[in-house]
Amino acid sequence: MRIDCHCDTVMYSRKELLWDNSARHCDFRRLRQVVDIQFMAVFPYLDKVTVKDRERIPLLTEELIGRLTEGAALYGDEVGIIRCGEDVDLLASGGKLGLLISIEGGESLDGDLSRLEHYFHLGVRAIGLTWNYENDLAWGANSDKNIKEEMLLGTHDGVKPFGAAVIERANELGMVVDLAHLSYHGFWRALGICRKPVLVSHGACYTLCPHVRNLRDEQLKALAEYDGVLGISFVPAFLNEKAERSVEDILRHIDYGVEKAGVDHIGIGSDFDGVETLPQGVNDCLFLSYLAEALDKRGYDRAAIDKIMGDNVYRVLLANLPKRNG
């Protein structure tokens, strides 16, 4: 099974262009050549929506979900939406690209837990609590530097009551909980609430590159203990602090993640179309085929390569998704 845990392509492509759009890193045509499942992030322009327009976020969320589902229907002979565990195997055995719709940022719920079930019925099967900033669910990755006083006072534990309720309901419905973009403290609190294996869809290793989005060694170890998976991202800023980043940096983070968390807990979360520039040697999603070859040359055996390239995330999906529709 080949799975990429994150891309932002739907933000930039009309439904008619989702099949073939050379202006983007991904399209359905190329993805079919390299993955069985692609997580498609629904990110409702949080950085472009003013505070007074926040009530528009649920509408933007539904617009993007609709763009994906309509695009999948338009190319239904080649593409399908994953709604249950059974879909994963049916789509793969039929040679179709499976799309897993994921919401990035709990602002899409607009403080209403019933919206989670609504999005579930629309086909969403994963949700991240935050983007980089605080919302009514939790504190994001850029929040840690602003909450030291609250931590000292004991008034902050990383996840708010509404966020805890969202995690619990996501577990009940059959949605993967994504801890990417959470604050350090939010990661620990969310991990303790969640009753099913979690995903950190796109990030990397803090020891190799001290970026706020990356996981520290103790987080990697805990992720393994909870049977979760970190998707190693190709975002240059996550890979090293130098001006130039390359494929070698991606491989270093995979190596380090495997060393600290174990080979059963590392996957791929490219963030294609979520960044303007990619590491040297990475042009688009077709790179994923080369990455498997690079891991082989690095000495990984076939079983380990299969785990990293998708089987680990497949395990998380099967542990979370409903077994069958209905």
Rounded to 5°, angle at Cα 37 from 33 and 39: 120
Residue 200: in which H helix or E strand, if any? strand 199-203
Query: Which are the contacts of 253, defined by CB distance < 8 A and separation ≥ 6?
Result: 204, 205, 208, 209, 232, 238, 239
Q: Are 224 and 258 within 8 A, CB to CB? A: no
Query: 42 has which bridge partners?
Result: 103
The per-residue pLDDT for 12 is 87
- What pLDDT is stored for residue 48 in this prediction? 57
Cα gap 295→303, rounded to integer Å:
11
- Residue 2: pLDDT band (50, 70, 90) is very high
Burial degree of 207 (CB within 10 A; 0-12, 13-18, 19+): middle
Model pLDDT, residue 153 = 45
Where does the chain have alpha helices with state H? 28-34, 57-74, 85-93, 114-122, 148-153, 161-173, 184-193, 217-225, 236-239, 247-261, 287-297, 302-306, 312-320
pLDDT of 46 higher than 80: no
Q: Is 52 exposed, middle or buried (0-12, 13-18, 19+ CB in 10 A)?
A: exposed
Cβ-based burial of 281 (10 A; exposed 0-12, middle 13-18, buried ≥19): middle
Percent residues over pLDDT 70 in the chain: 93
Q: What angle do CA 117, 113, 167 make, to 5 degrees?
A: 85
Asked if residue 181 has pLDDT above 90, the reply is yes
- Residue 31 pLDDT level (bands cut at 50, 70, 90): very high
3-class secondary structure, 103? strand
Say if residue 25's pLDDT is above 90. Answer: yes
The helix/strand/coil state of 12 is coil
The mean pLDDT value of the chain amounts to: 93
Q: Is 38 helix (H, G, I), strand (E, B) or coil?
A: strand
* Region 129-147 average pLDDT: 84
Question: 67 or 48: whose pLDDT is higher?
Answer: 67
The DSSP bridge partners found for residue 231 are 267
Give residue 311's pLDDT: 98
Domains of the chain (ranges; CATH) run: 3-320 (3.20.20.140)
Task: Give dist(CA 81, CA 244) in Å, integer.
Answer: 37
Instruction: Give the SS3 label for residue 138.
Output: strand
